[in-house]
Amino acid sequence: MTISSVDSLEGADIAALIEQKLAVFEPQWLSIENESHKHNVPPDSQTHFKVTLISRQFEGMMPVKRHQQVYAALSDELAGPVHALALHLYTPEQWETRGNERPDSPNCRGGGA
């Protein structure tokens, strides 16, 4: 399923759409976590996501450029239901140096469930 219209995102599994769109980066590893429950939003919201993406395509690319490319790939979701993305984007070598560990996300300062 390809989604390109913000209107057609209502009721969609946003994490699945994010996964589909990030496939363009040919990830060696991809994790998409819905962290909406840590924020002051209604139950079962799909508004805040943590994305960890490991890809050789990031080699030689500054972190800002990586973020720009991911934001571009997810422009429909960001224009619609997604309020925030916590992006952790690494090359395989950087990921290995980190010990394959994802950073923890803090709780929302505005309160959470």
The per-residue pLDDT for 19 is 96
Q: Which two tokens stand for residue 43?
A: 């139950």
Place of tokens 């996300």: 105
Judged against a pLDDT cut of 50, whether residue 1 lies above it is answered with: no
Residue 10's pLDDT is: 57
> 17-62: per-residue pLDDT in tens?
999 999 999 999 999 988 877 777 777 777 788 999 999 999 999 9
Predicted local distance difference test score (pLDDT) of residue 107: 67
Amino acid at 43: P
Structural domains for the chain = 28-97 (3.30.300.90)
Average pLDDT over residues 63-77: 96
pTM for the predicted model, two decimal places: 0.80
CA-CA-CA-CA torsion sign (23, 13, 80, 50): negative
> Taking a C-beta distance cutoff of 8 angstroms, is the pair 61, 89 a contact?
no
Average the pLDDT over 55-83 and give the result: 95
